[in-house]
Amino acid sequence: MLVVGLSWDQIQKVKDKTVKESILAEMQSRYSRNLWSSSFGGTIYDHLDVEFSTESNKIEFSYYTWTSNNPFLTNSLINNFEVKYMTTNYDFKWNSLNTVDNIKLRYNPYKISCKIWEKDESAKNVIIVTRVNDSRDYCFEIKQENCRLIEVYEDKCNGLKNTANLQ
């Protein structure tokens, strides 16, 4: 019998990585499904809105039909993280910050790109810093031209966090 001893720190790192991977997998799944279909749960939809919020700490997915301003389905399947910080139109070279509390992405079926907006203003990209289980921060970027969530690696993420004075 082989016994593997993991420290509390190592266990926490595995849990944190699992949450990060869940965020990436869920966003990729919705993106891919939207790219190849205009139906969810048997209902044809006009568009999918994805909302990130620092207030609710959720990523919400809402599906709308052509005939209603109310979604026929809204859900969030990702837990154990908080949206710590968001900024739009951020360029890692210039470090120009525009802090926001709420971002929406609008995906139309069969299209690679999406619309990113905060309040009434359109954006070319959004950077999101999430804190997992009160221990580890992960940064993600979404660009308007392809609207895929990608991880921003530690050197850039740390530069962003330092500029934003995140603790």
pLDDT (tens digit per residue) in 62-73: 999 999 999 999
Q: At 66, which helix (H) or strand (E)?
A: none
The domain defined by 14-163 folds into: minor pseudopilin epsh fold (3.55.40)
41 CB neighbour count, 10 Å cutoff: 8
What pLDDT score was predicted for residue 121? 75
Across the range 85-111, mean pLDDT stands at: 85
In the chain, where the domains are located: 14-163
DSSP-derived secondary structure letter, 117: E
What pLDDT score was predicted for residue 119? 72
Tell whether the model's pLDDT for residue 3 goes beyond 60: no
Tell whether the model's pLDDT for residue 8 goes beyond 70: no
Tell whether the model's pLDDT for residue 10 goes beyond 50: yes
pLDDT (tens digit per residue) in 86-97: 888 888 777 667
Q: CA torsion angle for 98, 106, 67, 46 (degrees, to 10)?
A: 170
149 CB neighbour count, 10 Å cutoff: 22
What pLDDT score was predicted for residue 1? 46
Structure confidence at residue 120 as a pLDDT band (50, 70, 90): low
- % of residues, the chain, pLDDT over 90: 41
Structure confidence at residue 4 as a pLDDT band (50, 70, 90): low
pLDDT (tens digit per residue) in 122-159: 888 999 988 887 778 889 999 999 999 999 888 888 88
Q: What is the pTM of this model?
A: 0.85
Cite the DSSP H helix spans in the chain.
8-36, 154-163
pLDDT (tens digit per residue) in 11-70: 666 666 788 888 899 999 999 999 999 999 899 999 999 999 988 888 999 999 999 999
